[in-house]
Amino acid sequence: MKLIRFKRANWVVAMAMLALPGALLTSCSKETNPTEQVEPKGDKLVISVLGINDGSAGPALKAKTGSASVAKSNTMGSDNAFDVYEFADVDMAVSLGNKVPVKEANVAVRKMKNGPSANAGLKMAEEVPAGIKYVVYIYEGSTLVASAELASGTAGTIDGLDPEGEYTWVALSYNSDSAVPTLEPSSPSITLPGNTDVLHASGTVNLATDPTIGIMFDHVFSRIGIELNTMGAFGEITGTPAVNVTGIELTTGDIDLLTGEVTESSGSSPLTLTYADFENVDPAYDDAKIAYVYTAGTTAQNISVAVQGLDISHADGNLPRTYFANQATFNTTVTPVRGQSHHVLLNVVESALTTNHESTPVRWARSNLYYRGDGVNRNYAFYSQNQQTTRADGYFAFEGVEPMKFASEAEKGDPCALVYPAGLWRTPTVAEINSITTSSGVLSNVLGAILDVVLANPAPGSSLGNGYAQYSLQTAPSGENAFGSATSNQNNLRFFYNGQITNAAVLTALGDDGLAGVGLSDLSLELADVEVLDTNIPILGTSVGTIAGLWTGSRLLSGSLLTALGTSVGSQGFVAHEASALLPLGSRFVKATTTAELLGNVDLLGLDVADISLKNVRCVRAPQPAP
């Protein structure tokens, strides 16, 4: 049977053909405006695209990470466990998953004979942009009776079918606005183009009961997304880094339109990717780049990613930095599963500074946490420079996830755990803080004794700096890296005397309104010498230049300090300052104390604020899971 197809421009010709005796019309297509209501009736089949199954369901991802050729690998805890390859200034946290970053939407899927009835109801599906070409084939048994080229975003139609007939429909797309499958295949078997995102769907339709088709496509090939992400280094990629991806072997195959089965072709083609093959995950940001490959093969892919000369601009002040001055190579193995997605995620993250005092190894961030407030994965960052700062965006309540405000018990959390990639960092435990302190006490008592002359009991591994307390590292920094020389602030563990907020009137005014409660609005504002609106009360008091205050992530649940607080649950922090010693008389040292404080819930403010504060947060690396 010869299929006859025509477009709008040929409608007059088509009508003339219908008027001719013996003329047979087996197919036509019509595109409509997205808002146009196309009423199904008679011999007209109405077709629309719902979306694409995202490829994250079904068989578990068959993938594992290998070892880096130039760096030690440590597995870090997360939803998808990281293999962290350590370097002098940044690390690479490599993870594997089966969900790639695509735009999704809730799609209403009806339970119908001609669609994906098993998935009826609301489901998350990958969006199909408007204008993506696809072909719909209509079969009676194994005989092709009609076909039409359509485009997503508009309702398509096929006319001239039997109003009482039941048909098998098949939709095929190359997920492209230009490339289109053949309209008239000589058989149900079609040879597919290589390295292409082939989409397929099929079902049955009875025009008498429901002459509509809602297409939910499936990916035919395995989709492998290789992503280079610098959100964990808190900056966007600038320039053109040298990125080379090798070890990819691609195959294609033939698809049986009616069954969806793929017969893999013999032989494979090697593919090398460069930085030019990567595109932005989000067009608005240059901090996440991804390249996709598609293969019919199911043989393990031993993928190697080499990176060199990675320039970024830190979000805090657009400070430029260059990472991987020497080439770094990362190896991973993915075993493709047809119809599934595989995500190789390479997260560039700031490396940590390790202390080991009191037999307690702790891996510290190089600078304090601040609230960036630039979207879910970009809300938190570490300051680009470790230096004295009183910016409002760096002072948090205990377990507060937003700066300069208090939260209810239900709103509390760990802000460090929210630093991208989530779960790589956390707030230090009290045991980790105790490794760099020599005493403990209720906050108000500790602050009241700062000027006292005491017996010298310097904090373990500490030394005095110009406006900061410094702690020795397990391995001293050597040479130059992206953070400067071995003596730079970023390459040494230094807690600057940024002060803390303890004034009762200030804390009560802040409440859960934050800066607005004290007549301010800009979180980037330096708070030194700033007073509460219409008062002479300095927000930071006299603590700037005197005290370094940090939070732990541990609640105080028992003991004499809790009794002294007069509460059932407390919080614990860290205060370091310069102290004077009795002996030798006049000598100076770093005194560091673990503090006991009230939880700082918003409902406590105004009742008892003597032992509540806002402090800085210095994150530490999350513990490693068991192998």
Task: Tell me whether residue 458 is in a domain.
Answer: yes
Position 371 confidence tier, pLDDT thresholds 50, 70, 90: very high
- At 26 the pLDDT is 35
User: Is residue 390 domain-shared with residue 364, that is, in the same domain?
Assistant: yes
If you average pLDDT over residues 590-601, what whole number do you get?
91
Q: Does residue 445 form part of some domain?
A: yes
Per-residue pLDDT band at 25 (split at 50, 70, 90): very low
Q: How confident is the model at residue 47 (pLDDT cuts 50, 70, 90)?
A: very high
Model confidence over 231-252: pLDDT tens digits? 999 999 999 999 999 999 999 9
Which of 166, 198, 219 is where one domain is finished? 219
Q: How far apart are CA 504 and CA 119, in angstroms?
A: 56
Q: Would residue 1 count as lying in a domain?
A: no
The DSSP result for 417-461, as a single string, is: GGSSSTTSEEPPPHHHHHTT-SEEEEHHHHHHTTT-EE---PPTT
Are 501 and 597 contacting, i.e. CB atoms less than 8 angstroms apart? no
Q: What is the DSSP letter of 212?
A: E
More confident of the two residues 605 and 75: 605
**How does residue 333 score in pLDDT terms, banded at 50, 70 and 90?**
very high
- Decide: helix, strand or coil at residue 208: coil
Same domain, 414 and 561: yes
Neighbours of 94 (CB within 10 A): 24
- Mean pLDDT within 587-608: 80
Q: Is residue 405 part of a domain?
A: yes
pLDDT for 7 equals 34
Q: Which two tokens stand for residue 551?
A: 């939070």
Co-location of 138 and 12 in the same domain:
yes
Residue 586 is predicted with a pLDDT of 79
Whether the per-residue pLDDT at 518 is higher than 60: the answer is yes
SS3 142: coil
**By mean pLDDT, which of 77-81, 268-272, 461-465, 560-564 is the weakest?**
77-81
Residue 452 has pLDDT above 90, yes or no: no
Is the pLDDT score of 33 beyond 50?
no
Report pLDDT for 135. Answer: 98
HSE-up of 414 (CA within 13 Å, CB side)?
Answer: 21
Look at 40-44, 165-169, 363-367 and tell me which has the smallest mean pLDDT: 40-44
Count of domains for the chain: 3
Whether residue 565 is found in the same domain as residue 602: yes
In a domain, 2, yes or no: no
Residues 442 and 576 grouped into a single domain? yes
pLDDT one-digit tens code per residue, 88-110: 899 999 999 999 998 886 666 55
**CB neighbour list of residue 136: distance below 8 Å, 6 or more residues apart:** 47, 147, 148, 150, 156, 158, 169, 170, 171, 213, 215
Measured in whole angstroms, the distance separating CA 200 from the mean position of its chain's CA atoms is: 29
State the residue for tokens 């560039």. 348
- In angstroms, the CA 620 to CA 431 distance is 12
Using omega within 30 degrees of 0 as the cis cutoff, is the peptide bond preceding 584 cis? Answer: yes
Domain end, chosen from 328, 350, 372, is at: 350
Q: Considering 219, 235, 250, which residue would you say is the last residue of a domain?
A: 219
* Whether 482 and 615 share a structural domain: yes
Q: How far is CA 148 from CA 129, 185, 260, 403, in A?
A: 19, 12, 19, 57
- pLDDT (0 to 100) of residue 602: 64
* Segment 395-417 mean pLDDT: 93
- Percent of the chain predicted with pLDDT > 90: 72
329 is a domain residue:
yes
Backbone angles phi, psi at 391, to 5 degrees: -60, 140
19/127: higher pLDDT: 127
Return all residues near 19 (Cβ < 8 A) that are at least 6 apart: none
Residue 476 CB-density burial (10 A; 0-12 exposed, 13-18 middle, 19+ buried)? exposed
Asked, for residue 334, whether it belongs to a domain, the answer is yes
**Global pTM value:** 0.86
Name the nearest CA neighbour of 572 among 615, 620, 514: 615
Q: Whole-number mean pLDDT of the chain?
A: 86
Give the tens place of pLDDT for each residue, 182-212.
999 999 999 999 999 999 999 999 999 999 9
- The pLDDT of residue 479 is 80
Q: How confident is the model at residue 543 (pLDDT cuts 50, 70, 90)?
A: very high
Handedness of CA 216, 217, 223, 228 (dihedral sign): negative
Closest CA to 573 of 600, 552, 546: 552
CA 406 to chain centre: 26
Average pLDDT over residues 610-626: 84
| Dist. CA 344–CA 347, nearest whole Å | 10
Binned at pLDDT 50, 70 and 90, residue 409 comes out as confident
Give yes or no: residues 310 and 415 share one domain.
Answer: no
Percent of the chain with pLDDT over 70: 84
Q: Are residues 433 and 533 in the same domain?
A: yes
137 or 18, which is more confident?
Answer: 137
Answer yes or no: is pLDDT of 269 > 70: yes
**Top-confidence residue, 110 or 497:** 497
- CA-to-CA dists, residue 589 to 168, 216, 386, 544, 586, angstroms: 83, 68, 21, 18, 10
CA distance linking residue 377 with residue 380, whole number of Å: 8
The predicted pLDDT at position 623 comes to 80
- Judge if 457 and 486 occupy the same domain: yes
Domain assignment of residue 627, yes or no: no
Residues 182 and 305 placed together within one structural domain of the fold = no
The answer to whether residues 294 and 423 belong to one domain is: no
Confidence band of 609 (pLDDT split at 50, 70, 90): low
> Whole domain around residue 252: which residue ranges?
62-97+221-350
Best CA proximity match to 70, nearest among 85, 83, 55 = 85
Q: Which residues share a beta bridge with 577?
A: 547, 591
| Torsion from C-alpha of 140, 145, 151, 157, nearest 10 degrees | -90
Whole-number pLDDT of residue 556: 94
Dihedral, 616, 620, 622, 627 alpha carbons, nearest 10: 180
Residue 478's contacts (CB-CB under 8 Å, 6 or more residues apart) are: 486
Q: What local confidence, expressed as pLDDT, does residue 477 receive?
A: 86
Q: How far apart, in whole angstroms, are the C-alpha atoms of residue 332 and residue 85?
A: 12
Closest CA to 273 of 241, 226, 308: 226
Looking from the CA of 424 toward its CB, the CA atoms found within 13 Å total: 29
Largest CA-CA distance found in the chain, in angstroms, rounded: 117
What integer is the mean pLDDT of 149-156?
96
pLDDT at 63 (0 to 100): 34
Cα–Cα nearest to 506, from 413, 427, 395, 595: 395
Check which CATH number belongs to the domain holding 27 and give it: 2.60.40
How far is residue 309's CA from residue 327's CA, in Å, rounded to a whole number? 8
Between these two residues, 99 and 624, which has the higher pLDDT value? 99
Average pLDDT, stretch 395-407? 94
**How does pLDDT run across 112-148, given as a tens digit for each residue?**
445 444 345 556 789 999 999 999 999 999 999 999 9
Closest by Cα among 81, 9, 23, 37 to 421: 81
Phi, psi at residue 409, to the nearest 5°? -55, -40
Ranking 432-436, 531-535, 576-580 by mean pLDDT, the lowest is: 531-535
Question: Does residue 489 sit in the same domain as residue 611?
Answer: yes
